[in-house]
Every structure is written in C-alpha cells, then in structure tokens.
Amino acid sequence: MKNDYLLLTPGPLSTSATVRQAMLKDWCTWDDEYNVDIVQVIRQKLVELATHHAGYTSVLMQGSGTTSVEATIGSAMGASDKLLVIDNGAYGARIKQIADYYRIDCVVVAPGETEKPNLTEIEALLANDLAITHVAMVHCETTTGMLNPIEAIAKLAKSYGKVVILDAMSSFGGITMDIGELGIDFMISSANKCIQGVPGFAFVIAKKSALMPCQGRARSLSLDLFDQWQCMEQQHGKWRFTSPTHTVRAFYQALLELEQEGGIAARHKRYETNQKRLVDGMRALGFAPLLAEDKHSPIITSFYSPISEQFQFKTFYNALKQQGFVIYPGKVSHADCFRIGNIGEVYLDDIERLLIAIENAMYWRAPSLAGAACTAASA
C-alpha cells in the first residue's frame, strides 16, 4: 500500500494507507450498510464541518469537482437570472465557461491572476446592474495559490440580496470557515482535496431555502442537484444513479481521520506550517514565490522558474520524481512558474526532505555553486 512518490499537488493528493485500504471491500448500493451507515453519516458530518447554523443540507454528486460546480450553476440559476463571476484564475474562468455553455446571462470581474478582487468594482456592479441575482467565486484559486477574500465579498453580495455560490474545492476541510456565518448559499468541494479522500465524487453543502427553488431548473438529467438531493433524502442516502462506492467508503475513513487529527483547525495549522517552511526553504534556494505573502493560501504555492537556458520543467520534474516527489507545472498565463502543493498526507518532515531533493535536482547550476542560491525571476 506504499506509494513510490509523494504527491505535492492540489488534488488528487497523497492519502493515508488506511484511506486506501478502505477501498478493498465491495459494496451494494441498495444496502443500508452502505446508504444509511456510510452515505448518510457522510452527509451529516459534512454539514457539521461546514457550519454551526441550522437550515443546511448536503448532496453528493458523482464525478469531478467541476461536475458539481456545473450541477450547482445549472440547477441554481433560473432562466431569467444573471450571474456575477469573480474570475482571477483558471477556476473562476471555468465558472464563466459553464455559464456560457448553458447560455446563462453573466458578467465578470477579472482583476488578473495575481490580484485580489476589487470590492469597489464589485459593489458598483451590484448597485448598477439590478438584473444580477447570483454571485459566484472561488475561495482558493489553485492557478496561483491565491486565497480570495470571501468574507468581504459574501457580505457585500448578501447586502444586495444575492444568492452566493462558493467554489471551496481546494479549501474546505483545510481552512476554517463557517458558511452559515458567511451567508453562503451553495458551497462546493471535492472528495480528493483537504478531506484527503480519493477522486470519484464531489459534494454541495446548501442552504435548504436556496436549494428548494432549484426543483425543475436543471439543464441536465445527471447534473440535477435538486433531484439528487431529493433522492438521498427520500431513500435514506440512495444515489439516483450508480455511486462510486469505493471512493465513498474511502472518504468516510478520511473524515474519521480528520476528526482524529483534531478537526479542520488542526489540519489548517499543519498546512500552514508546511507552506511557511516550503516558502522559507525555497527562498533560501533562490526561488521567488509568484504571489506576495499576504495573498498566499496554505494550499498550494507558485514559484517562478529559474532564469536559466538550461532549466526545463520536465527535467526538473523527473529529477524530483526519481527522489520520491511529484509537483505541478504552472498554470499562470503571463509567468513561467511551477507549483508545489502543501496539502494531503504531508508533514513538516516531508517538506524538509523535499527541499533537499530540490537542491539535489538543481542541475542548471555549476557544481561549484552547490548550496548557493540560484537566480530566479522576481515579481
């Protein structure tokens, strides 16, 4: 059950041996042992993790995180509704793309991939465009590692009476928040992120009063959020169509391990410790982070690629993989970067070992410069 390498990515990510072992049994999707004792318990635990406020429920959806984002947009938006999208990365842009596919009227605030949204600009749109009914945003934009100011944006949106949709794909379970306090109507995340499960399904935690009007709105049969929720409510955890049983059982185990760790606050602290040591160590090796420190999330960090004709990301990637680490290529449109995740079954000792591996992999430096800082681009 041991992996050949550690995944330092924003998901799929490295999981515990016990989470992987939980997938070694087959399950019947009609059996109460699965639906009542696992699915329903997962649904309740998710709501408890998300908020202390009453009036929330959860629904699990087969597929990737984007599948559940699409299910939410396609089910929550009425025919005459208009969506305001906060886009400062690939995943904000994907929300806009979903709206375009469904021909949903949409307006975008796009400050750029390395900038936080401008609240004045958002308020001007909300004040002047009375057709806007919903606001959608990403919490942790893993394009860069940006952590967006969801508290301020959600408060602003609710002050204008808008329905708020939060893509918390890469933050839920790893960053403390109470979506009831924030006024979030729909929050979307995935099994293979900070809860530290494996890919196969995602989930939506929704305010019941916002979910009920979704009946009959869905633009897709399999992505009908309301019907999936209603089936789970009426049939005690039953999914409408075949559920990813092994993934679900692994997620149940991951939830238990989150509790054993001390909950979201303890996991958040571990991720922050990982990220701070990573940035400090990378700076010592000469790598410059893409974002200013006050914009970083504890989830994933982007670093400028070294200024060297010899540097090739694929070669660097393979050199790290041979030492037991897998990182991510960059996704920023205007900068040559690579990314390193800080989440999953990853601890401070792993970050220390990674930093040694990175120094060993810095082939573009002359041997006489070993241990000295390499030249990196600056912000």
In order of start, what are the domains of the chain with their CATH numbers?
24-260 (3.40.640.10), 263-361 (3.90.1150.10)
Rounded mean pLDDT, 115-128: 96
Task: Please report which confidence band the pLDDT of residue 43 belongs to, taking 50, 70 and 90 as the band edges.
Answer: very high
Percent of the chain with pLDDT over 90: 90
Task: Please report which confidence band the pLDDT of residue 375 belongs to, taking 50, 70 and 90 as the band edges.
Answer: very low
In this prediction, residue 142 carries a pLDDT of 92
Q: Is 339 annotated as a binding residue?
A: yes
Rounded mean pLDDT, 122-132: 97
Q: What one-character DSSP code corresponds to residue 309? A: T
Task: Please report which confidence band the pLDDT of residue 368 belongs to, taking 50, 70 and 90 as the band edges.
Answer: very low
Rounded mean pLDDT, 286-291: 95
Task: Please report which confidence band the pLDDT of residue 373 belongs to, taking 50, 70 and 90 as the band edges.
Answer: very low
CB 281 within 8 A of CB 355: yes
Task: Please report which confidence band the pLDDT of residue 369 belongs to, taking 50, 70 and 90 as the band edges.
Answer: very low
In this prediction, residue 231 carries a pLDDT of 98
In this prediction, residue 371 carries a pLDDT of 36
Note the pLDDT tens digit of each residue in 310-321. 999 999 999 999
In this prediction, residue 309 carries a pLDDT of 87
Contacts of 55 (CB under 8 A, 6+ apart): 180, 207, 208, 209
For residue 370, pLDDT beyond 70: no
Task: Please report which confidence band the pLDDT of residue 272 belongs to, taking 50, 70 and 90 as the band edges.
Answer: very high
Helices (H), the chain: 17-21, 32-34, 40-50, 65-76, 90-101, 119-128, 150-159, 179-182, 208-211, 225-234, 245-261, 263-284, 313-321, 348-360
Q: Both tokens of residue 324? A: 């037991």
In this prediction, residue 213 carries a pLDDT of 97
In this prediction, residue 2 carries a pLDDT of 76
Count of Cβ atoms closer than 10 Å to residue 30 Cβ: 9
Q: Both tokens of residue 200? A: 């196969």
For residue 374, pLDDT beyond 50: no
The residue with greater pLDDT, 335 or 181, is: 181
For residue 183, pLDDT beyond 50: yes
Round to whole Å and give the CA distance between 279 and 288.
8
Rounded mean pLDDT, 139-163: 96
In this prediction, residue 207 carries a pLDDT of 98
Count of Cβ atoms closer than 10 Å to residue 125 Cβ: 16
Residue listed under structure tokens 């597929």: 63
In this prediction, residue 282 carries a pLDDT of 97
Percent of the chain with pLDDT over 70: 96
Mean pLDDT of the chain: 94
In this prediction, residue 102 carries a pLDDT of 97
Chain CA centroid to CA 357, Å: 27
In this prediction, residue 70 carries a pLDDT of 98
pTM of the model: 0.93
Task: Please report which confidence band the pLDDT of residue 296 belongs to, taking 50, 70 and 90 as the band edges.
Answer: confident
In this prediction, residue 10 carries a pLDDT of 86
Note the pLDDT tens digit of each residue in 243-263. 999 999 999 999 999 999 999
Note the pLDDT tens digit of each residue in 329-358. 988 878 899 999 999 999 999 999 999 999
For residue 7, pLDDT beyond 60: yes
In this prediction, residue 332 carries a pLDDT of 86
